[in-house]
């Protein structure tokens, strides 16, 4: 669909768009002010100050806002619930940023935001301050024009997303009543490379583990002991070969039991995405893709689980020959999970496989996160799509899932509501890297998108349908 078929903003929303246009310069300068405050979760720098700053910003807009402690960094929660009968949207973002190192690779210092060629350069510009600040400005603009919001709004701003969100699941479980909502919208990540807006409906999960093999109590001579002393590297090679076959099939008992096949809507959406296997082959210098050869690229990334060997350590890898028989070896693996695989269940199945096939190999569980999926026909899906379309004038690309993993399940599985990721940053935002930036145009389109979303939700007939939530404790 082209730009000219985009839904037209109604009178109420058009007036908010005008307000955004009139105030764009002061919005940019206020974002610069916000970016001047470091909030580096990994180094515990500025976290409390920025959390309080957000409470102040939200309180000024009439939100009931406060920080809520966790055993890590505090959450900022703000609520505006004066639209009875209208839906409630939870807007999630994170106020912490990555460490700015290496400092000498920055053209301008990371916490002295600078505008160059239509972009704001600063740590957090794209990930994620520029994005949740756009949400706050969308709310502010709507209030400034209409004196009220068309729907109820709940902000949840996390302070340790860049540390892997270690406490968000416990927090959401403990505060599920206060976080009661009809849907969640997260503005994080980039738009498509072409500049087209994107809506993502889920993520793959992850379950990581380690296999440790040991034989003798020290490395030995491969001539004097070869054929006598078992080789831990061979132990792991044989074991790994029983876990995945040459056709790419994972051969752990029950591994695929809970995999939900993609729906017709999922397949149709994936087929419309600009995903070209030849592009990937060209850019990565590949002759072939991983087995099985006939699987579509979108299906590989969104609908199938994987078992990846991340690293294999053991023995001698230096120059020339060394006739050694090593005494230990280690393998690290991760599994990307799709709906409805459960990381604990999958790790238990892999552990059982290891125990049967190689009882002397030690199995060690590492981090895990469940997958998350919001069905493409979930309640509010049309509302979110039409809001993004209205704000950008271009139809969004619909991703049923990302290949990577984020703790989106806390919304879909713990709160039991649809969750949509609607990114605002440019594709080349350089998040986590030096010279992180957001294009001013993307930031302002983000403010428009936030406003269009509130407006569209205000016109939604609230039927309170939602997926079954995790049972209350």
Least gap, CB of 57 to Zn ion (angstroms): 21
Least gap, CB of 145 to Zn ion (angstroms): 32
CA atoms of 243 and 276, how far apart (whole Å): 29
Distances (CA, A) of 8 to 120, 230, 288, 387: 30, 72, 45, 10
The smaller minimum CB distance to Zn ion, of residues 129 and 327, is found at: 129
Least gap, CB of 46 to Zn ion (angstroms): 16
Least gap, CB of 385 to Zn ion (angstroms): 25
CA atoms of 400 and 403, how far apart (whole Å): 10
Least gap, CB of 187 to Zn ion (angstroms): 13
The smaller minimum CB distance to Zn ion, of residues 95 and 171, is found at: 95
The smaller minimum CB distance to Zn ion, of residues 127 and 395, is found at: 127
- Read off the DSSP letter of residue 104: G
Least gap, CB of 189 to Zn ion (angstroms): 9
CA atoms of 437 and 119, how far apart (whole Å): 6
Asked if 361 and 236 touch (Cβ cutoff 8 Å), the reply is yes
The smaller minimum CB distance to Zn ion, of residues 127 and 182, is found at: 127
The smaller minimum CB distance to Zn ion, of residues 133 and 460, is found at: 133
Closest CA to 91 of 437, 420, 458: 420
Least gap, CB of 410 to Zn ion (angstroms): 17
Least gap, CB of 369 to Zn ion (angstroms): 15
Strand order in the sheet with 437-439: 114-116, 119-121, 437-439
Least gap, CB of 237 to Zn ion (angstroms): 36
Q: Would you tell me how many other CB atoms lie within 10 Å of the CB of residue 292?
A: 12
Q: Which residue has the tokens 């029950």?
A: 254
Least gap, CB of 138 to Zn ion (angstroms): 21
> 144: Cβ–Cβ under 8 A, 6 or more apart, which residues?
19
Q: How many CA atoms lie within 13 A of 229 on its CB side?
A: 21
The smaller minimum CB distance to Zn ion, of residues 289 and 433, is found at: 433
CA atoms of 297 and 402, how far apart (whole Å): 12
Task: Kindly list the residues in this chain that would bind Zn ion in the complex (CB under 5 A).
Answer: 127
The smaller minimum CB distance to Zn ion, of residues 99 and 416, is found at: 99
Asked if 183 and 379 touch (Cβ cutoff 8 Å), the reply is yes
Pairing of strands 152-158, 88-94: parallel
Least gap, CB of 94 to Zn ion (angstroms): 8
Q: What is the DSSP string of 291-348?
A: SSTTS-HHHHHHT--EEEEEEEEES--SSS---EE-SEEEEEEEEEE-TT--HHHHHH
Least gap, CB of 123 to Zn ion (angstroms): 10
The smaller minimum CB distance to Zn ion, of residues 123 and 392, is found at: 123
The smaller minimum CB distance to Zn ion, of residues 190 and 418, is found at: 190
Q: Which two tokens stand for residue 375?
A: 């069905």
The smaller minimum CB distance to Zn ion, of residues 119 and 123, is found at: 123
Ramachandran sector of residue 388 (left: φ over 0; alpha: ψ -120 to 50; beta: rest): alpha
Burial of 68 (0-12, 13-18, 19+ CB in 10 A): middle
SS3 of residue 397 by DSSP: strand
The smaller minimum CB distance to Zn ion, of residues 127 and 266, is found at: 127
Closest CA to 153 of 184, 188, 189, 129: 184
Residue nearest to Zn ion (CB): 127
The smaller minimum CB distance to Zn ion, of residues 13 and 402, is found at: 402
SS3 of residue 462 by DSSP: coil
């Amino acid at each position: 669909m082209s730009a000219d078929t985009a839904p037209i903003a109604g009178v109420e929303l058009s007036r908010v768009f005008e307000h955004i246009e009139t105030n764009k310069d002061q919005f940019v300068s206020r974002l610069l002010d916000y970016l001047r405050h470091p909030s580096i979760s990994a180094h515990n720098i500025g976290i409390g100050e920025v959390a309080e700053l957000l409470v102040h910003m939200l309180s000024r807009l009439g939100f009931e806002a406060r920080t809520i402690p966790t055993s890590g960094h505090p959450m900022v929660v703000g609520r505006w619930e004066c639209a009875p009968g209208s839906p409630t949207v939870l807007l999630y973002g994170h106020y912490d940023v990555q460490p700015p190192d290496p400092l000498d690779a920055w053209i301008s210092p990371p916490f002295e935001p600078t505008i160059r060629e239509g972009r704001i350069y600063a740590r957090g510009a794209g990930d994620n301050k520029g994005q949740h600040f756009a949400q706050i400005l969308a709310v502010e603009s709507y209030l400034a024009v209409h004196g009220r919001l068309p729907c109820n709004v709940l902000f949840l701003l996390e302070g340790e997303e860049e540390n892997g969100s270690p406490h968000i699941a416990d927090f959401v479980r403990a505060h599920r009543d206060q976080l009661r909502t009809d849907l969640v919208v997260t503005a994080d990540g980039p738009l498509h490379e072409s500049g087209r807006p994107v809506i993502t409906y889920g993520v793959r999960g992850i379950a990581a583990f380690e296999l440790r093999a040991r034989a003798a109590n020290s490395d030995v001579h491969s001539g004097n002991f070869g054929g006598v002393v078992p080789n831990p590297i061979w132990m792991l090679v044989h074991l790994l070969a029983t876990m995945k076959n040459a056709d790419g099939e994972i051969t752990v008992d029950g591994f695929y039991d809970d995999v939900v096949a993609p729906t017709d809507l999922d397949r149709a959406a994936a087929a419309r995405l600009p995903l070209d296997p030849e592009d990937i082959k060209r850019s990565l210098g590949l002759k072939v893709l991983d087995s099985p050869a006939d699987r579509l690229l979108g299906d590989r990334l969104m609908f199938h689980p994987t078992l990846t060997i991340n690293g294999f350590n053991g023995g001698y890898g230096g120059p020339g020959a060394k006739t050694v028989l090593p005494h230990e070896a280690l393998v690290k693996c991760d599994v990307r999970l799709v709906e409805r695989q459960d990381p604990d269940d999958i790790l238990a199945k892999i552990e059982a496989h290891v125990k049967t096939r190689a009882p002397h190999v030690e199995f060690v569980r590492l981090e895990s996160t469940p997958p998350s999926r919001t069905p493409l026909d979930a309640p509010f899906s049309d509302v979110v799509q039409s809001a993004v379309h209205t704000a950008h004038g271009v139809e969004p690309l619909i991703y049923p899932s990302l290949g990577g993993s984020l703790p989106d399940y806390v919304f879909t599985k713990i709160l039991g509501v649809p969750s949509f990721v609607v990114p605002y940053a440019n594709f080349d935002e350089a998040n986590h890297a030096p010279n992180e930036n957001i294009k001013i145009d993307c930031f302002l389109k983000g403010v428009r998108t936030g406003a269009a979303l509130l407006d569209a939700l205000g016109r939604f007939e609230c039927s309170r349908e939602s997926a079954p939530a995790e049972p209350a404790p």
